[in-house]
Amino acid sequence: MLPFACFPAAPAFRLDGLADRVVLVVEDEFMVCELTAEALHDEGYRVLTAADAMEAEEILAHERVDLLFTDIDLARNTNGLVLAHRARCQHPDLPVVYTSGGCGGLSPSEAVCDSVFVPKPYLPSDIVALTNDILRRFPSPHHA
């Protein structure tokens, strides 16, 4: 099984060097997307959102993205697993976090390597803490 996220304690301050990082949230449940995006934005991230994989692929083709946070089952019969594999073809070092309320986890053969799975429901603050942790460990190739 793909590792589940362990949520580090969220710091009470903005993280230096992470404020210019971009997170793409791909979620077809509007309120879930908005709550997650707002929490990441409040932390200082630039947040882009998409409701399905086609919209997300368009964003990935035209925008710099430092982390992909995607639901697995998306609108218009699109899929976050396929999205992540396509994104990694274009951006091999892109960190990926999957989420789903419909499955309990992912096998390594389903997911892109070095990705993380977060089961729903989750707290937006947990996603912020996880994002901070991941982006602290993966320096942006765009900011070298």
Radius of gyration over every alpha carbon of the chain, rounded to an integer in angstroms: 14
Q: Is the pLDDT of residue 3 over 70?
A: no
Confidence band, pLDDT 50/70/90 cuts, at residue 142: low
Residues whose CB falls within 8 Å of the CB of residue 85, separated by 6 or more in sequence, listed in order? 112
Mean pLDDT across the stretch 32-61? 97
Work out the number of other CB atoms within 10 angstroms of the CB of residue 14: 13
Q: Is the pLDDT of residue 135 over 70?
A: yes
d(CA 136, CA 45): 13
Phi then psi for residue 80, to 5 deg, are -70, -25
Q: Is the pLDDT of residue 47 over 90?
A: yes
Mean pLDDT across the stretch 137-142? 71
Q: What is the four-CA torsion angle of 137, 81, 86, 44, rounded to 10 degrees?
A: -40
Confidence band, pLDDT 50/70/90 cuts, at residue 105: confident
**Cα separations (Å) of 7 from 54, 74, 129, 141?**
30, 24, 6, 25
Residue 141's pLDDT is what? 60
Question: 5 and 117 in contact (C-beta within 8 Å)?
Answer: yes
Is the model more confident about 111 or about 139? 111
pLDDT tens, position by position, 55-93: 999 999 999 999 999 999 998 999 999 999 999 999 999
